[in-house]
Amino acid sequence: MDSFSHALLGKKLLAVAGCAFLFFASVVTVTAQVTIDFWHAMEGPKGPVLKEMVNDFMKQNPKIKVNVSLQGGYTDMVRKVQAGIAANALPDLAMLGQRHGIPQISDSGRLLMLDSILTAEDRKDINPQLFGRYTYQGRLMAMPFAVSVPVLHINATRFKEAGLNPDKPPMTWDELVSYAKKLTRDVDGDGRIDQWGFHVHSDVAWQAYAFIYQNGGTLYGPDGQARLDSPEAVQAMQFWSDLVHKHKVMPAMAHESGSKLFTAGGLAMFQRSSAFIEGAAKQIGNRFDYRVVYLPKGKVYGVPDGGGGLGVFKSTPERERAAVALLKWLTDTKGIARFGRETGYIVFRKSSLGLEEMKSFFAGSPRDLVASREMEHVRSNPVNHADGVVWDGLGNVVEKIELDAKENIPALMKELNSKVNKEIAEARGK
């Protein structure tokens, strides 16, 4: 062959090679995988459930790889996120709890605002009160996911022993007191009470919210200022103090013991999160008749919500898209139904409650049904910087009033109120 055709052949080969390369390159980019990190705070047996769900998500979405890892509890999570922001080492999706820094984390500007991903159907499907916990300065910073409410765990066997009907549990504060009085006894006659009528779990601030809401109070007013010194809030705390000192149905200070005492059978009524149900059932076994009922009302029914939501951290467009996709999958109708069934967290989507598998689930788990019904009474406030102060402050107030019957409750609440407002003002002024 002469040199001219050599050159032509060469050019042809080059062209073919070039096309082949472009073809493979485009195939590779189109099928490129996105890897995202998902940090969660589900300690104990609930973690594996989440992992399973994420595995199923990955099967349905082969282009997205998710690294799921447990970061401890909500407080550990916040520390990790704090360190992560300082060191630029953040995940794509993270589970965040309300008082655990959402305002401060939002201030960092690293969270993606989620208002745009909610459809009109979502807003109809979900109790708007649930968004309060994750709303900062009018924007939704995280999607509700693992939701719990405080419920009343009761020992029906003790009820019957005391001549009370467990099918008619206390529905009001007055009934609560009278029932509890009958259930607080010195069983073995040694002069010391060994069976208590009522107790509250060690997350006392959260339980205090319940009392405040039940009395018609709120934590903040519509103007964003604290309302902890309102008569409703003060009376709620007075009721708490009375339970310990006046009616003597609640032991002072030993809140860590509550769960143990209840599962041992020495506590008739126990106010704690719905997330306790599964573990309690396992530990109680057949030793007594364990049931779950509504929290009684004061002037109204009202409960706080708890748990964690899913937040997305800003990064690259592909990763954000993938993270949002995972978020939507986990929190859609089927996702919430499955998560709730397998972990004991509340199924809070109305559409999920309508699913066949949920109906049969509740038929077999009356306790979870009660918890899920309590959802309609959830109250909440948008978060702000002072939430940590409210939480710690109320915890402190509870300690003080349990230790001393003569504490000046209005003064304590007023002091706390100004502290909270001061914190709010400082945060605004920054």
**Interaction residues for another protein, span 243-272 (CB under 8 A):** 251-254, 256-257, 259-261, 263-266
Note the helical H segments in 218-343.
231-245, 257-264, 277-284, 317-330, 333-343
The verdict on 419 binding another protein (CB under 8 A) reads no
The verdict on 420 binding another protein (CB under 8 A) reads no
The verdict on 305 binding another protein (CB under 8 A) reads no
Give rounded-to-5 percent helix, strand, coil for the chain.
Answer: 55, 15, 30
Q: Number of C-alpha atoms within 13 angstroms, CB side, residue 425?
A: 7
27, 383, 394, 405 from 233: Cα distances, Å: 63, 19, 11, 17
The tokens for 155 are: 């020992």
> Using CB under 8 A, which of the segments 26-34, 70-78, 125-133, 159-167 binds another protein?
70-78
The verdict on 95 binding another protein (CB under 8 A) reads no
Phi, psi dihedral angles at 127 (to 5 degrees): -55, 120
For another protein, which residue of 73, 166, 216, 410 counts as binding (CB under 8 A)? 73
Residue placing its CB nearer to another protein in the complex, 105 or 236: 105
> Using CB under 8 A, which of the segments 81-89, 294-302, 330-338, 356-364 binds another protein?
81-89
> Using CB under 8 A, which of the segments 86-94, 164-172, 242-250, 410-418 binds another protein?
86-94
Burial 173-208 (b: 16+ CB within 10 A, else e): beebbbbbebbbbeeeeeeeeebbbbbbbebbbbbb
Residue placing its CB nearer to another protein in the complex, 214 or 263: 263
Please name the amino acid found at residue 195: Q
> Using CB under 8 A, which of the segments 40-48, 124-132, 372-380, 414-422 binds another protein?
40-48
Residues within window 97-126 making contact with another protein, judged by CB under 8 A: 101, 104-105, 107-109
Judged by CB under 8 A, the number of residues near another protein is 72
- Residue 217 buriedness (CB in 10 A; 0-12 / 13-18 / 19+): buried
- The span from the first CA to the last CA of the chain, in angstroms, equals 81
Considering the complex, what minimum distance in angstroms separates the CB of residue 267 from another protein? 9
- What's the sign of the alpha-carbon dihedral 218, 220, 221, 226? positive
- Residue 426 buriedness (CB in 10 A; 0-12 / 13-18 / 19+): exposed
The verdict on 279 binding another protein (CB under 8 A) reads yes
User: Rounded CA gap, 58 and 47, in Å?
Assistant: 17
Residue placing its CB nearer to another protein in the complex, 89 or 425: 89
Considering the complex, what minimum distance in angstroms separates the CB of residue 261 from another protein? 5
Site pattern 157..196 for another protein (x: CB under 8 A): -----------------------------------x-x--
> Using CB under 8 A, which of the segments 39-47, 163-171, 173-181, 297-305 binds another protein?
39-47
Residue placing its CB nearer to another protein in the complex, 216 or 279: 279
The verdict on 363 binding another protein (CB under 8 A) reads no
Considering the complex, what minimum distance in angstroms separates the CB of residue 242 from another protein? 20
User: Rounded CA gap, 314 and 323, in Å?
Assistant: 10
Residue placing its CB nearer to another protein in the complex, 250 or 355: 250
Closest CA to 110 of 88, 77, 95, 130: 88
Q: Are strands 290-293 and 150-155 parallel, antiparallel or unpaired?
A: antiparallel
For another protein, which residue of 181, 284, 342, 419 counts as binding (CB under 8 A)? 284
The verdict on 67 binding another protein (CB under 8 A) reads yes
For another protein, which residue of 273, 333, 372, 421 counts as binding (CB under 8 A)? 273
Considering the complex, what minimum distance in angstroms separates the CB of residue 254 from another protein? 5
Indicate the helix (H) or strand (E) that contains 49: helix 46-60
The verdict on 342 binding another protein (CB under 8 A) reads no
User: Rounded CA gap, 414 and 13, in Å?
Assistant: 85
How far is it between the farthest Cα atoms of the chain?
117
> Using CB under 8 A, which of the segments 297-305, 312-320, 322-330, 385-393 binds another protein?
385-393
The verdict on 216 binding another protein (CB under 8 A) reads no
The verdict on 33 binding another protein (CB under 8 A) reads no
